[in-house]
Structure 1
Amino acid sequence: MMLDNRIERDIDACYEAVFDPTRWTDTLHGLARSLNAACMMFYPGNPDASSNDPRNPAREFGAMPSSRDYGDLLCEYVKNHWYLGHYRAERGMPLLRAGRTVVTEHDLATDEERRRLRHYNELYMAFGFPGFAMVGLKVHGGLWAVPMLRAKGQGHFTTEDSKALARIAPHFRRMISLSETMALAQGRTALATMDALSCAAFLLDSVGNVLSHNSIAERILGDGLHLSGRRLRAADHASELELRKLVHQAITNRRPSSLDASHAVAIRRDTRRPLLVEALPTAGIIGDVFQSTSAIVIVKNFEDRPRTTSDQLRGAFSLTPAETRVAVLLATGAGPGAIADSLHLSKETVRAHMKMIFAKTGTHRQGELVALTANMAGTSPMT
């Protein structure tokens, strides 16, 4: 190991990267060098220990902080699925889950085994990284690892190296925890901003659980939406299915630009106008490199706003009288069945009218039509 003061200096630099995530690549490079390693990264472990993929599916693996010399190997690791059937994960992760702080290459395979192991020879040796150690840590119940690689000439990690790595393991835990605390604080600031805009808003974690919500959201719960097991749910069954799709898209796409910009869901209520719901990934909104947050769900209540008139709809989009009657009811959140009963039409006729309405208004689903009519009535939905 190198001198302790150099290690301490580079650990301090990593703490600074928590506040300035653009520095992670360089600070981890420096720390790896001070630990006599070639490269290192933060690796989110899969909470499902039985999965053959050791990566946490709720976090974007390629966006995790890593040092500069890890890049090419990580690209190969992901592109050609080297994480599957990987002896280091299959043998090492259970040891970390059982309480080990550090595992090294010599804990996982013998010299004889390594001569035959495909991952060792075709991946790590091909990139010139024979040495391996992995620091394990638990953050808020989730398993994380900090793998490190040594290049040819640096040798393998020794027992003394493992002791030194164990001493700095608490720093890695605090870095992740501090970053997640900051992300939650930024998320709550975003929720307060939505309060000022008269929008209910919910902050979701990496798997879709509600981490926090604002005061307007608190008032709207129980009126079409509710929390169940930390999940945001809709009382109406059809709306619930749409809400699940919306949230899933937001927490899996990660980037706002990857979403359908017009995607909105109308949450139907029995006697009141629908709630309009959109979900935005927090990437780019919250500086959360460890991805403890995933999305902000924004809810707009148009109950006390002016309603779009049939004349406005008919004039703006050249709707026929029959289409106008269906469009007005769609804008209230009514489903095809309820519209058919109200207008004494068959469901097939209602669906045919809906197809024409969507085509003429340039919308694709009911939530978009609700947003459009809200705009026409002088209320801008969230953007």
Structure 2
Amino acid sequence: MLTEHENKIIGMIYDAALNPLLWQDVMAEVVNFTTSTTAIFTATDQLSPNYDFVFTHNIPEESMRAYQEEQLKVIDMRLHAPYWSAKPLGGTVINSFAPYALMPVDSDEFVFYEKCAKPTNIIHVAAVLLERSAYSWAVFAVHRAPHLEEYSEQEEKILKRLGVHLRRALQIYRQIAILQQEKKNIYHVLDHFNVGVMLINQDYQLCYANSIVKKIVEHSCILELDKKNHLKTLKTFQDKLNQLIHSALFEHEKINNEAGGVLAIYDQDNNSLMLSILPFLPSQTQPAHKQAIVFVTQTNQPHHLAKDYLIQKYKLAKREISVCELFVNGLNLEQIAQHMQITYGTIRIYMKNIFAKTGCASQAELMQLLMGLTLEFEHIH
């Protein structure tokens, strides 16, 4: 049976879901109820950073400033996510930060200890998991100073019971935040695009991603986010990606160059994505807030080339276009020869002619060119 104090906290949780200013009171009550030193309620979503929040009790401003500005909240998420791997939503973990102080000085563990745990004088932690994915989580945690006892199984059960209501409150909070966003910005429109869309700010950080691109990035092995919310891809394509984003953000610096462009990224296992990067100005009244908009499309479905364009632009013959279409769909030269029922030597002649007409010097360069000429999405050049 729940205690009177616990019932009081549950009521306060739902009040805070509607009025975020009340989370400070909730945190204080939970700290008192569990005889803790500090508490934190944090939600981190790298793909929707506008919905991030952190509520704390008794944590020094120095620690919170580092947590926010130095992206320790992402280190926190990635560092502690393994502890939750075998836990369901609503599961709890009891841990200690003490071993972190003995780790190498450049490790995430040591940095987290020095910037967050040590200034706050906390070691013991008990936490409940409220949300989790590759790039997001929400956790409610309480902490104790080194001289206090570790958390007990009974206190873990209390936190688990409160977690049920914290999860519901979080869902209410999210819905209210979404409704408020839809009323005042362009994100509501972008949410309904049929392709993946993300926005990059002038610090090169992802600041918005719609639901389609969230699914793509969550499951992608060739496109991800680092702890600073910068887009990262395979080393082969990273410089080009950075260049296109820069040109879209700072097009006025370019002379005789178009802003943005198209980039196909792919690995040796034929996992591939197409990125179209363009300048984006959310408001004509705030030109200083220019962003880069990135359209992301999956290209692991059969590709169909813009044949008329290949004929007009590069003067390719029909058989050469057939070779290109098989090539862009992942077949090697031997497989193309077998599919077209011609010799390997003939295929090599076709490829030599294609290289000459397109100006490509390698198969990788030809692949990148052709990926920009598929019909699955109308990329802008």
Q: Pick the TM interval, shorter chain.
A: 0.3 to 0.5
Q: TM-score, normalised by structure 1?
A: 0.43
